[in-house]
């Protein structure tokens, strides 16, 4: 009887695709042709949009103020414990932190099931990486390559 194989990446349930036409043109870029960097993460937080309502007090309306839609703000998306096969994301972050061109990215976060098939996805528009934390280096540890990656963005949609 054959022993079932265990996928070593079974804990990575979020695939992250970072796309931009400028990725392949970033100086020193390590991204593959086509301008896409693909990563997988074990945890994702901050998929959040908040609308600040505008309260309007009307004369003669004594029961309560009218509520109208206001501006929308987006939380910073934090991806934790990830792996990637290339250094394209680090190159983009490093170039921006060095005062060079800061590419605006389209980030798609896809939730995967046990067979690594997509279930649901979210898209971040005009995203920019603001924090890149590598895992601690410890020969006895089980840490993975990217400990945390933070994105700020200007739009959130379900795909």
pLDDT at 29 over 80: no
Domain 14-56+65-158, architecture per CATH: Roll (2.30)
Note whether 152 and 76 are within 8 A (CB): yes
List, for residues 115-142, the tens digit of each pLDDT value: 778 889 999 999 988 898 887 777 766 5
Task: With cut-offs at 50, 70 and 90, classify the pLDDT of residue 82.
Answer: confident
User: If DSSP codes are grouped into helix, strand and coil, which group holds residue 13?
Assistant: coil
Can you give the pLDDT at residue 124?
A: 94
Cα 47 from Cα 102, distance rounded (Å): 22
Question: What residues does each domain of the chain span?
Answer: 14-56+65-158
Q: What are the beta bridge partners of residue 15? A: 40, 110
Can you give the pLDDT at residue 89?
A: 81
Q: What is the mean pLDDT of residues 103-112?
A: 88
């Amino acid at each position: 009887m054959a022993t079932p194989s265990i996928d070593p990446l079974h804990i990575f349930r979020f695939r992250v695709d970072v796309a931009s036409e400028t990725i392949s043109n970033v100086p020193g870029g390590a991204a593959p042709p086509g301008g896409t960097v693909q990563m997988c993460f074990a945890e994702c937080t901050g998929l959040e949009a908040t609308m600040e309502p505008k309260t309007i007090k009307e004369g003669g309306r004594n029961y309560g103020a009218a509520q109208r839609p206001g501006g929308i703000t987006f939380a910073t998306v934090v991806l934790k414990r990830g792996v990637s096969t290339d250094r394209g994301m680090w190159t983009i972050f490093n170039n921006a932190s060095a005062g060079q061109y800061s590419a605006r990215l389209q980030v798609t976060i896809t939730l995967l099931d046990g067979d690594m098939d997509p279930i649901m996805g979210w898209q971040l528009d005009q995203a920019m990486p603001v924090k890149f934390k590598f895992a601690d280096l410890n020969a006895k540890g089980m840490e993975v390559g990217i400990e945390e990656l933070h994105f700020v963005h200007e739009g959130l949609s379900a795909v």
